[in-house]
Amino acid sequence: MVLLLTNYGFHVSFWLYFLLAIIWLILTICGSGLIQWNYHVKSLNSSSGIKKNQVAITFDDGPNPEFTPLVLKLLKKYNAKATFFCVGKHIEAYPDLVKNCINEGHSIGNHTYSHPNSFGFLSTEKVISELQQTNAIAKSVVGVDLKLYRPAFGVTNPRIKRALKVTGLQSIGWSIRSLDTTSRSSDKVLKRITKKLYKGDIILLHDTSLKTIVVLEQLLLFLQQQNIESVTIDSLFKIKAYA
């Protein structure tokens, strides 16, 4: 009888630990891919305590010589400000576009140097290198030390957390992921953004396609009609974009 109870207790303990391990694994995987969870890294995803009727429009993956100028033209037309999270190699290739973003009152941030698909699997040293390289390029092009960082694909993990501690960058997430890089139509992307838009929201877009340009103009018109101001991330959170 004692032996049976012992074996029973062993099996219960085994399956309990196994279940806990599975739950931990699921939470870790989801937490690594869902930036709003702040599972590994504390990111700024929205400004819930804001009193002003403001949101922040952000653009990832640029600058792009075909579409970034169109974005800038629309932002100027509607007197809106935005934050561009730039890929280092694109800053290198199109320095004048980055200068135009700064000169027109927008902010820029770090979005890694090469934005590899494997970014979530890179070593801490490689992540640090990617971030430092982009900051060095931005410093040489526009003379600023970037403080804001948008994780590639929104992925975070302990290695990225350590890299941010070394580089001193602040992770910026989002509260509205537009999915403008998917096959969804511009109307569906716009509806996804506007159907539950609140003050303090951070909107994720990409200055890399004509569809986003179409969405952006309709979004800016919507914000104008709703008396909502689009501001930079640093303005929304009252923080510094540059050191």
Catalytic residues: 60, 206
Distance between CA atoms of residues 128 and 95, nearest Å: 22
- First CA to last CA distance, the chain: 70
**CA geometry: angle 203, 204, 207, nearest 5 deg:** 125
Q: Which alpha helices (DSSP H) does the chain contain, by range? A: 2-33, 68-77, 88-93, 95-103, 124-142, 158-167, 186-194, 210-225, 233-237
CB 136 within 8 A of CB 108: no
Judged by DSSP in three states, 23 sits in: helix
Distance between CA atoms of residues 119 and 18, nearest Å: 30
Q: What is the 3-state secondary structure (H, E, C) of 51-73?
A: CCCEEEEEEECCCCCCCHHHHHH
Q: How many residues comprise the chain? A: 243
179: left (phi over 0), alpha (psi -120 to 50) or beta: left
Paired residues of 171 in beta bridges: 149
